[in-house]
Structures are given as C-alpha cells and as structure tokens.
Structure 1
Amino acid sequence: MSWAGKILRVNLSAGTVTPEPLNMDWARQYLGSRGLGTKYLVSEIDPQVDPLSPDNKIIWATGPLTGTMASTGGRYTVITKGPLTGAIACSNSGGYWGAELKMAGWDMVIFEGKSPKPVYLYINDDVAELRDAADIWGKSVWETEEHLKTTLQDPLTRISGIGRAGENQVLFAAVVNDLHRAAGRSGVGAVMGSKNLKAIAVRGTKGVGNIRDPKAFMAETFARKKILHDNAVTGQGLPTYGTQVLMNVINEVGALPTRNHRDVQFEGAKDISAEAMATPRASDGKKHLVTNQACFGCTIACGRISKIDETHFTVVNKPQYWGASGGLEYEAAWALGAANGVNDLECLQYVNLLCNEQGIDPISFGATVGAVMELYEMGVLTREQIGIEAPFGSAKALAFLAEETIHGRGFGKEVGQGSKRLCTKYGHPDLSMSSKGQEFPAYDGRAIQGIGLAYATSNRGGCHLRGYTIASEILGIPVKTEPTATEGKPELVKAFQDATAAFDSAGVCIFTTFAWSLPDLAPQLQAACDEGFTVPELEKIGERIWNMEREFNNAAGFTKADDSLPRRLLTEAAKTGGSKGTVSHLPEMLPKYYAVRGWDPEGRPTPETRARLGL
C-alpha cells in the first residue's frame, strides 16, 4: 500500500513520544504529505490559535511515493498554522530527509505543546526519543547538522532543523534539511523555535517494501522517468541551468518584478542570471556555478552548487563561506536581486548562504528589503534607523540587513517581521507586495494575469507553487495561454491549484508537472497504493484538499477581502515590456473564480460543494 501505516505523536510539554496507526480512511481521501498532514492539523487545532503558542501543532509528513523509486520521490511537507500570515502554512522540501523518515517506517510526525527546554527528536527505525539540545541551541543549521552527525556517529543521519532565525522567531524562518534544502515559506521555522524544538535527526534502514504491485510499479516509474528525460524543460533546461533559466526569460517578457514592483524589467537581470552563473568571472576566471545536484530519487537534478569569489567584500575575511555550497535558484536570485535592484551576483550568493545557514526564506526576506529600500528612498526610513544607507541597488545594504535579520539585531528585528507588519508600522501598508501577509515571488501579477489571481487566492498567501500558471502563460505547458488575457484564467488557476495539491500530497516534486500530468501520476499511485487512484479521483482529491485549506482559513478569520493584491498592481500600470499599460484585472476574475470553485459570492464553499467533496 506504500504508506508505512504509522505516525509518531510527540508531546513536547510532557516529553512523550507515542506511535499511532495511520488513519487509512483519511489516507485514501487525502493521499499523504500536504493533504493528509493538513487533515490531521485542521482536525486537531483551533483555527483561531496563536501560531506561536503551545496550542498550535506542527507536522512533518511524507507522501505514499516518498522514499520509493518514483522520480523525485524524496519530498516531505511541514504543516502548521503560519505566524507570518495566520493562515494554513504548508511548506514543501526535497533533499533526502523525507525519504529517510519513510525508510525508518514512519509516514508522519506530529508535535504538540512546548518543551520546557531545547530538545531534538532522534529517530532510528523503531527507536524514537526526545534528547537534550542545549549544546546545539544557538547554532546554525550547518553547525547543528555537523554536531549531530558526529555525536550520533552516523554520517548517514538526515537532519531537518532550524538555525538562529527560527530560534529568534523571525516570522519567515525556514526549516532546513541537508544543508540547503528548505521547507522555506510561511514561517514554519518560527513555530519550531517557539516549541524549543531544534531538529529532527532520522536514520532509516527499513526501506519502503510494501508496494502493492512491485513489477507494475517498476514499469510505470521507468516509463515516467523517460518522459522526464525526453522533455525540454525537465530533461534539458532544468538540469543545465536550474530554475535560474527563467531570469532572462521572465525579464524579456516584462514580468520580472523590480524595485518592489515599481518596474517589471531589471536592467541588471543578465548579471544575476543562469548564464552569468555559468560564465567564468573576470576576477579569477572561475565559474560561479560548480555543478548541479539532485535530491533523493530525482532524475531532473535542478539544484545548484556554487562557489563564491573569495575576494568579494562580503566574504573577504570569512573563509567559512569559501567552499562550494547551495547555489542560487530563481526565486532567491530574484528576491535578493531584482526586487532590490541589486545586480551583484556574489553578494546574492553570500546572502543566499546566510539564508541556508540560519534558516530564512529568501523570498520573504528579499521582498521585505525591497520595501525597506523604497521607504528609505521616500525618506520615511533613515540611515540612523536602518543602520546603513539603503537605496535600491545597494549590495552593502542587502548584506548588512541579512546579517542583522538572522541574528535578530537592530533594524533586522523589524525586517524579521515581514513586509506587511513593517510597512504598516511606518504608515505605508500598500508598499508590502504580499497577499495574506506573504510576499510575492518572482512574477508580476499585472504582466501575467493568471499568476496574479493565483497569488490572491492562494491558501498560504502569495505563492507561485500553489498554482504555477507560468507553465501555461509563459512556457506553453500544457497549452499556451496569453499572459495578459483574463478569459479562462479562473478555470486555469483552479485546474493548476487542484493538480498541484495532488502532486504535493503524493510525495513527488512539483517540477515533474512540466512533463507529467495527472494521467502520469495515477498509474504510479495505482501500482504503489491502490487501484482506486484514477485520474478523476485524483482531481477530486486535489479539489478536496484545496477546499479543506480554504475552510480552515475562513474559520481562522479570513474573508473575501483577503483575496487581494496590493494597490500598486491594481492601479499602477506596467511601464515597459509586453504588458506595458496593463494592471491586474483581479476584480474581474475573482467572482468567476469563486463560481468555478463552487463557492458563494463571499468565497465560502457552498453546502453542495462540501457534500460533493465529502468535507
């Protein structure tokens, strides 16, 4: 059946670790990972709970294909109520940790309460116990991983944990595993820190041996790996250039948010692009990019391993950053670069390393710095307040604010609250480029109408991975739609959102959807788990998950008014590019989206929709 059939419940207040059988009825309704973990969360907490209180819970969940030979089957999800947004938080990560948990014999770990002192959870197959973390509290993600592997005397132990940002409850702190893979968004790391939980160390030796039909599963996964290999995006573009392949593409079409979304094209995009990473530097003739890297079971290998210029001002006296490590991906390069008008590739790599090392979401961090720089140029914030002159384009200000934020020092404490709280405090809430309090990623919602609607309606706040309409609107996958058109976009967004929920919940990477659709996922699930996972059933599961998340948010106090975009995107037209003169047409699309979803005009699932989905 591919599920391990067991979960761990950890009561941090009491210090107990208790195994439980997995609710298999729920597993068949919600698959696993994002869907199943969310089902457990919404069934066990008050939607009105303070995200940083002991009454909130936080869940690590794998999918039925996690740990199997399905391509990209290494994904896991961290689910909680998010402190950045107050909405459902569900953050996905790759690397090797998720597969290790599954191979230790567990589908999910649920943490509740708050430990009176710092602890970490140690799992070695059937052995699971809380251990003292006093000697690693205050350490970075990197230091924690090295310490635990040395202490446990097993270099194959996999670590999922937080750095100083999570401990300091930076509201966009991430959970990081395998040094530079992250459940990055919505502040899941802050919830972990609020519970005095430093890390989960896992060693699994059991494998995943309960595949329903091993021969059929092997045949189905092999066939799908060939599809990934033969596809231009998953077989060529991503392995060669990583997600950074998009930098010049999105800039050329005029959809690259620049200087806090004041512009839609960045004159320095070429300097921080995939091509720049792969070109020898003038200073030393060496390439920024060292190689690519894959997560567990991945045949795409989009990850970047990069090496910084040792003479750069950010690291000239910091040899700990001179080695090859996790390199820039598109969203981080955009957020640290174009969003702030910074085209210093080495500075972006340094700040990206800090985000990995201390566990911070580079999207929210970079977008918040963009707001700070605009407020500085307006004269609302001063050098004395910030601690440095901070105009758009200042690499020194970017590096300084990163250091201050991860350590919770000075103005970094304000940056660590995210752009919505910061901009509201200083009297300009409209300068926060966010929805539901979560900052937008690297696509402009005026230039690409579908993604604007997806941002506004995303259950976890501004996000591209909850309905990546860029695939259709820019790349023509699975069909080409005109980015500035609004016709058909509500239907497109819903389809992408529901399909994404199914892929996330299966335990595979969303990047497979450049080449796969639900008819590729279904046979793999049928062979691994249950013949009942047909394409129509997976469509229904995805829709069920989306509506469940929506109902939690509604109960938490979100309304139609929160399905919104900043005034800038609605009233200030794009200045250049193919969308010149265009604003977001969200007000036109939103009522149609509600109707397509089977929601009432206030954005609430109707009784008929709830009954059809079994909610």
Structure 2
Amino acid sequence: MHGYTGKTLIIDLSSGKVTEKEMGTQSYFEYIGGLGINSKILLAEVDPSVDPLGEQNVLIFGVGPLVGTLACTANRTDVTAKSPLTGLLGTTNSGYTWGPELKFCGYDHLVVKGKSQSPVYVFIDNGEVTVLDATHLWGRDSWDTIRTIKNELRDKEISVACIGVGGEKLVKFAAIENGFYGAWGRTGLGAVMGSKNLKAVALRGRKDVTVSDPDGFLESLHEMRERIMSHPTYNPWRQFGSMLAVDIYYALGVLTGYNQKEPLGEDFIESMGRENLLKYKKKSIGCTACPICCAHWVEIEEGPYKGLKLKGIEITSTMDFGARCGIRNLAAIAKATELFQKYGIDCSTAAGSIALATELFQEGIITGKDTDGLELKWGDEPLIFELLRKIAHREGFGDLLAEGPVEMVRRIGKGSQEYLAQNRGLETNSRDPRTRWDVWSFGFLINARGGDHLRVQSPAENLRESAPEGEYFYELSPPEKVVARIDIFHDWKQEIFDFERNTVSIPHMAAWCQDLMNIVNSLGICIRPPVLHSLGPTIYSRLLTTLTGIEFSPEDVRKAGERITNIQRVFNFKAGEKREDMKYGPKFYNMPIKGRRLDKDKVDEVLDEYFRVRNWDPKTALPTAEKLRELNLGKLGSNLAS
C-alpha cells in the first residue's frame, strides 16, 4: 500500500493487549485518513452516551496520507474522542514531528482503549510497542515529563505526546502536549488521556512512506508549493504568522474583550498589535515540511519575565489572555503560554473560565468568599497566572474553573448563565458575531466539535468591509478575479457567489467550507491562509491519486469531506445534541455590542437554509435517508430510524 501504512495500532490498557488492524482501501477512499478515519472509528467503537472519562471512551490519534511525505505542511495529527467538556465529538489538531513519526513507526492510527491500573507511558519504537511504568512521571509538568522520557530512552529526537498536571487532575479542558511547544488543545482530550492513566506516548520510527507514481506526485508537489508560495498572504504570514490577523480584525471593528463584554479600544492594538511581536521575535520556526514557518521563537530580555525563551505569541493566546482577560503586554502572553503548556491545559477555555469569573465577580454575582479571597480584576497578570495554577491542580476556586464556563454557571446560578459567551460548550475567538456576521460567525453553530472558529473557515473572505447590519444570509464577496483563482467547483460557485450583488451565500459557503476543512484535516496538512486559500479538491485529488495509486476525482475528495460531516453530526445527535441546542451563548442574543445583538429568529432561518443545502431535516438537523444512501451511509439511516 502506498501513502498509507494500512495499519491501525490498538492498545487496550485494561488488558494490556496490543493488536494491529488492517484498514481496507475502501475506507481510505471514503474517509481519506486523519480526522475522517478517526471519526469513522469513534462512531463504530464508542457508544455516544458513554461517560467521556470512563473506560469505554477511546482515544484515537490519526495521521493523513500526505503526512511523512514532502507535501507542504504535511505534519498534522488529529486526536479524537468523546469530549468531557462538551459531551460531543471531541477532536483537536497539532503539527510538528509527532504525526510523521507515527507514520514512520508503521501506523496511520493509534487507538487507546480501557484504563491502566497505574500510571504508564507507551513507547513505540519502529513498530515495537512497550508499555512502561510512569509512576515517577505522575505529578510532573509536561516539559519535565518530555525531558525525562527523552533521557530515559537515550534519544533526544524521540517525539513525545504527554499530559501535564491538568490531564492528571481531569481538568475538563486539559490538553495533550505535543513536544515542548505544541498541543492538541481543544475539547479536553488531555483529561481523557489522564482518565486512562496514560501519561505519554513516545515515538521513534524509521520506516519509509512509499509513493505509487513518484514523477506524478513530484509534479503535484511542485504545483502545491508554487501555489502556496505565490499566494499574497505567504510573505506576511512568514513575518507575522497568525499575529497578522490581530490588526486586520481590529481595523474591521469586530473584536470584543473582557469576556466579550465591550469593544476593544486603542490600548489593545497599541500594546498587542503585530508590530509589538517584533520586539521579542528572534527567528521564524516551522513544522515538518512547512515552507511558511509562521511560528516565532521569542526571547524576553527585560522586565518581570526576563530570560523567558520559547516558541510563542500567537493570535489565539493573544486574544484569549489579551482581549478576553485584559492583559496588555505581549511578554505576559509569552509567560501565560509557558504556564498553560507546562500545566497541560487549553488556553482558550482556561481564559474563558477566568474571564467569566472576573465578570461575575465585578457584577457581584460571586464574591471573595467564592474566590478564596482573591479580588478578580481585568489584566492582573499575577492573579491570572495564579488562577491558571489553581485550575491545573483543581485547588480551591480553581476546582470550579476547571469544569469550564458552562458547568460553572450551572453550579453558580443567580443569573450567571446570561454572561456565557460559549457556543455549544466552546469559546469562539474574540471575533464577535454581533459585530461581524459572516461564514466564520455562522460556523460556530455548525462546527462538529462545538462553537469555536477553526473548523469552518472561508477561502473567500472580504476583509476590507462587512455586510450591512441586519443581513444574515449573505456576506460581501471578494473581487471576482480573486474568486476565479479559488478551487471551488463551478456549480458550487454558481450557488455561493452573486457578483451582481457582490455577495456570498453564507449557508452554501458554510457547507463547502466545513467539508473542505474536513478534507484538509484528513489529509494531514495545515489550515493557514496560504494553504487554505490557494488549494482545493482538484490538486488534492491529484496528490492522493499519484501518492496512493487509488483513483480520486475532485468530486470523490469533496464527497469524502461531506461524508465526514454527516457521520460527525450523527455522532453528536446520538450523544444528545438536538436541533434546539445549536445556538449561541445567551450573551450574544441578550447583551448588545455597539447597539447590536444577534436576532435568534434570523439566525435560525439561516440554519434551516444550511440544513436544506445539506439535504438534512431542519427539524432534527439530521441527514435525510436519501442523503445517507447517496454517501454510502444507508446503515446509519436504519439505525437512526430505529
């Protein structure tokens, strides 16, 4: 088999049994790999009603067919399980070297079942699996854990995925750390790993990835690289990385802060804008096989954080702790990054819990009696860092924050639920749907893992202007010449774009984007704009065909993305998510920003149209029997009917 190893490794920690399972060509054709196969395995192996922190949940690591090849940015791994934070499909993506190393060990997927009686870590050495005692690692932070494992195994180049104290303590939004500076952050899968008493998975591989048509694949790789490097976003992303977007979104007036309570002022952009990054950035760094190198090696040379050196200062942490929590110092963002990486907790939900608590404190809903005597204030760096420590260790008030905002307000009561800025259990970034309604904003409602911003991204954004206030079905289109270069099928472009009105149909584009993001995460490549905006199903089909020898048409690739969307929705339905649960947090409907709040009836109308585009039942948000048969998922229809 080319491109794929054809093997899934299954480790049952309860029994100690280690097995391999062959994956057939048809499964790869229908789900591509990575996220797609992960979703298929999850639906087959896990009863969606199980306790996410119980032995019956499984933890699935998956890499796509391009991972381990020379394809640009082909280094990504998706990790999937039922989420302890949302109760829905949990999945999270990260890059660097761990994914390629899994492929070099001879596996496309790793499935971890059951629970060890005592702490262990797994070492996979070129296909040979050893389960080792980790009692001495339990209680250590992630950086110390990684250093210790590398020393024990006498190999500094080993790739390590591990949990910190947050995962051990079952913090509902615990992350799995990917080496020192990466993470599978969202949806709390570090807690799933901790619930299994699994401290780490270390990899060392030397196997080859073979190619069916080397000349054809190399030709497609050249085209892929040329498209990425010639895209207008390429050079700015090399310089500023994700921080490029901070200034863009601020200029659009779409950012809100302080638990999304009010618009951000000039103090934010003056202290947190992209130019401030250059005070600390020493060089660009990149993941395996990436020509963009959008990450930053930063060094803090003065002030209270002097001496701190790490890969850090990204838009996510800047929005989470800067916009949401009120910090106005990028050096402090770097310090926050060090802490949440060592503790092994997701920065977005950690910041969401802290921001919610701060707003509730200032509104008088909670008091010092609730907060261990702490006075919660916006932008208080030592306080925020102390709360991160309390969260990770579930100490005092931190035990409540460790449950995440949705559970926090359930326990607090007293009208606190009105301050929720979460959507279906997850935070958005600080790009507020009240201030700019577009495909991304709508995507918070349909993202299978909950309401964050990373799984429904448009390759055709107009970042110069927003649609008129009160318009929900359309956003403004980029110029026609820009759209002409985007790999969207002609019939879809006809439905999405109206160049006479200069508009984009949000329901149609959202469906296209959601499927496209599934494809990208199943191939194992990155979603940065130079990739997302320059590539599409046409070149992906050529890459897959020449790599694997399996004949993929562009439509086959698109349909695989759609199939993944459908099985993810079925999983969430079985996990208990109903149509009426697909809504924004109360704050977005009830508390205005710049005089604007979301109109629930209009939002629901767009959602119903999206369901019609997908051939789903608007009453249940489920695929129709006809749609499931079209996608070769007819058996799922029978199960849903029963």
| TM class, shorter-length | over 0.9
2:169 maps to 168
Query: In the alignment, what sits opposite 2:358?
Result: 373
Contact 1:13 1:115 in 2 (8 A): yes
Name the CA shift for 1:357/1:606 in 2 (closer, same or farther; >3 Å): same
Structure 2 residue aligned with 1:390, among 376, 381, 388?
376
Shift of 1:514: 2.6
- Whether the 8 Å contact between 1:432 and 1:439 is mirrored in structure 2 is no
TM-score by length of 1: 0.93
Q: Within the alignment, does 1:608 sit opposite 2:623 as a pair?
A: no
Aligned to 1:148: 149
What amino acid is aligned across from residue 410 of structure 1 in structure 2? G
Q: Secondary structure at the match of 1:109?
A: strand
Deviation at 1:176, TM superposition (A): 1.2
Per-residue CA distance 1:536-580 (angstroms, 9 max, x = gap): 1111100100010000000111101111002222243331xxxx6
- Pairing of 1:304-319 with structure 2 (within 5 A): 304-309=296-301, 311-312=303-304, 315=305
- Provide Cα deviations, 1:330-366, integer angstroms capped at 9, x if missing partner: 1111011101222122222111111111211111111
Match in the other structure for 2:95: 94
CA distance in 1, matches of 2:551, 2:193: 36
Which of 406, 409, 428 matches 1:420?
406
Q: 2:257 matched to which residue of 1? A: 258
Any unmatched runs of 5+ in structure 1? 279-286, 317-321
Paired residues of 1:69 and 1:221 also in contact (CA < 8 A): yes
Q: CA deviation at 1:424?
A: 2.3
Change in Cα spacing, 1:352 to 1:514, as seen in structure 2 (3 Å) is same
**Mapped partners of 1:50, 1:509: distance in 2:** 31
Task: Work out whether 1:598 is the aligned partner of 2:615.
Answer: yes
- Residues 1:224 and 2:224 are matched in the alignment: yes
Q: Give the Cα separation in 2 of the matches to 1:362 and 1:454.
A: 21
Residues in 2 aligned to 1:4 and 1:185: alpha-carbon distance in whole angstroms: 28
Kept in 2, the 8 Å contact 1:162–1:175? The answer is yes
Partner SS, residue 255 of structure 1: coil
Q: Which residue of 2 aligns with 1:281?
A: none
Q: What is the aligned counterpart of 1:456 among 440, 445, 460?
A: 445
Q: Give the structure 2 partner of residue 405 of structure 1.
A: 391
Are residue 183 (structure 1) and residue 184 (structure 2) matched? Answer: yes
Alignment of 1:469-548 (within 5 A): 469=458, 472-474=461-463, 476=478, 479=483, 488-511=505-528, 512-548=531-567
Secondary structure of the 2:212 match is coil
Equivalent-residue separation in structure 2 for 1:251 and 1:503 (angstroms): 28
What amino acid is aligned across from residue 259 of structure 1 in structure 2? Y
Contact 1:96 1:296 in 2 (8 A): yes
Alignment correspondent of 1:112? 113
Q: Deviations over 1:82-128 (max 9, x none)?
A: 00000001111101100011011111110110000111111111211
Aligned to 2:326: 341
Q: Work out whether residues 17 and 130 of structure 1, in 8 Å CA contact, stay in contact via their aligned partners in 2.
A: no
Instruction: Mark the runs of 5 or more structure 2 residues left unpaired by the alignment.
Output: 465-477, 484-495, 634-642
Instruction: Note closer, same or farther for the CA distance 1:470–1:262 as it changes in structure 2 (3 Å cut).
Output: farther
Residue 583 of structure 1 pairs with residue 598 of structure 2: yes
2:312 to 318, 327, 340: 327
Tell me how far apart the structure 1 counterparts of residues 361 and 586 of structure 2 sit (CA, whole Å): 20
Structure 2 counterpart of 1:284: none
Query: 1 CA distance for matches of 2:609 and 2:503?
Result: 10
Distance in 2 (alpha carbons) for counterparts of 1:405 and 1:515: 40
- Show the 5 A alignment for 1:259-278: 259-267=258-266, 268-278=268-278
Q: How many residues align?
A: 592
CA contact under 8 A between 1:82 and 1:88: conserved in structure 2? Answer: yes
* Distance in 2 (alpha carbons) for counterparts of 1:163 and 1:310: 28
Q: CA RMSD in A?
A: 1.9
Aligned counterparts, 1:240-251, within 5 A: 240-251=239-250
- Where 2:84 maps in the other structure, the secondary structure is coil
1:236-282, CA deviations, whole angstroms, 9 ceiling, x for partnerless residues? 1211001011112111211113111122334313312221111xxxx
> 1:520 offset after TM fit, Å?
2.6
Q: Does residue 211 of the first structure (1) align with residue 211 of the second (2)?
A: yes
Residue in 1 that maps onto 2:636? none
Residues 489 and 159 of structure 1: CA distance in aligned 2, closer, same or farther (over 3 Å): same
